Amino acid sequence: MRKALRPADAITLGMLAAVFFLTPHLYSNQSLLFTMMTFITLAQGFNLLYGFTGYLPFGYVGFFGAGAYGTSLLVLNAHLPAIAAVIGGGAAAVVAALILSPLLRLSGAYFAIANLAASQILYLIVANPALSSVTGGPYGLNIQKTFAPQSSYDAMLLVMLFTCAIAIFFCNSRFGLALRAMTQDYVSAQMAGINIVKLRLVVWLISAAVAGLAGGIYAWNISVFYPEAVFGLQISVFAIVFALFGGVGTVIGPILGAIALYTLYSVIGISLPQYFELIYGSLIVLLALFLPEGVLSLMTWRRIDVR
């Protein structure tokens, strides 16, 4: 039968923890590492939904923003300590996901577009100058009083590992078996006794919660931000491309994708910023043409099980 944690999964989690725990001692740019962890978390969180249910949340960033704002507003108005506020930010994203859950009735491109629109609505509401007294409007928020780069780094590390652990659970558990069945044939899944409405709602909420926690910790880490910084569509696009590059429906695909492409992004962004979009765009085209299932599919072709 299924094992909760295979040795390969334990190694993945262990290495991920070791790398991001040790690297700050060798490499001084902790903020770059922090952002990389943010994107690993987002790519993995995106993968939880897209890789395991087939719903493509183009507006995934909406939950990230909801988390960032939820956290910051709790710090500013309820004067909660940062950790509690971050958890509140995750809850804010879950509430947003609950409100948006009727979107799950759509499928394919319709879902992706509706979700994109929803995230932009959230963005426009938050950034609305008329709400400046509540959300800071276009001027963003400032929670410098909680500024704690090391604690927020550690928190992001935990959330990243937690998210990857959920992906492992999705791969190996009875729950994951139901997800696979649902993705392959949702009518037959019901005929196997699976409550697909509940199942996809649970995954949707988990995926949103992860993005919300990441958004909250991100806000905590940078402590001063404009709406664009946490609702920018580029964040969604990065999470999606990173996950697809590595390979969705796997545990290590999104991790490798985010590490490889975020590193590339940073290198190009520093050395050849004028060519960034050209290089990135070409990469995405090549990926879609030749490796639509991500770089991990190179291993699947050699019959190595990467799930």
Partner 1 sequence: MSAEPLLQLCSVSKSFNGLAAVNDVSFAMRRGEVVGLVGPNGSGKTTTINLISGITAVDSGRILLEGQSIERRRPFRRVQLGINRTFQVPKPFRDMTVAENIEVALEFSERDGADAECILTDLGLAAQRNKLARSLTVCQQKMLDLGRALATSPQLLLIDEIGAGLNPSELRDIADLLIRLSRRGTALVVVEHLLNFVNRITDHVIVLNAGVTLFEGTLQAASADSDVIAAFLGG
- Which residues contribute to the site for partner 1 (CB under 8 A)? 174, 177-178, 180-181, 184-185, 187-197
Chain centroid, CA 2 distance in Å: 26
Query: Measured from the CB of residue 305, what is the shortest distance to partner 1 in angstroms?
Result: 13
Distant-in-sequence, close-in-space partners of 247: CB < 8 Å, separation ≥ 6: 253, 254, 257, 293, 294, 295, 296, 297, 306
Query: Measured from the CB of residue 248, what is the shortest distance to partner 1 in angstroms?
Result: 14
Distant-in-sequence, close-in-space partners of 243: CB < 8 Å, separation ≥ 6: 43, 44, 46, 47, 50, 51, 253, 254, 257, 258, 294
As a whole number of angstroms, the distance between CA 117 and CA 235 comes to 15
Query: Measured from the CB of residue 190, what is the shortest distance to partner 1 in angstroms?
Result: 4
As a whole number of angstroms, the distance between CA 79 and CA 201 comes to 32
247 and 48 Cβ atoms separated by less than 8 Å = no
63 and 183 Cβ atoms separated by less than 8 Å = no
Region label for 249, one of left (φ > 0), alpha (ψ between -120 and 50) or beta (otherwise): left
Query: Measured from the CB of residue 143, what is the shortest distance to partner 1 in angstroms?
Result: 45
Task: Give me the amino acid identity at 206.
Answer: I
Both tokens assigned to 4: 């909760």
Query: Measured from the CB of residue 183, what is the shortest distance to partner 1 in angstroms?
Result: 9
Both tokens assigned to 250: 């796997």
As a whole number of angstroms, the distance between CA 234 and CA 242 comes to 12
As a whole number of angstroms, the distance between CA 54 and CA 59 comes to 15
Which C-beta is closer to partner 1: that of 156 or that of 196? 196
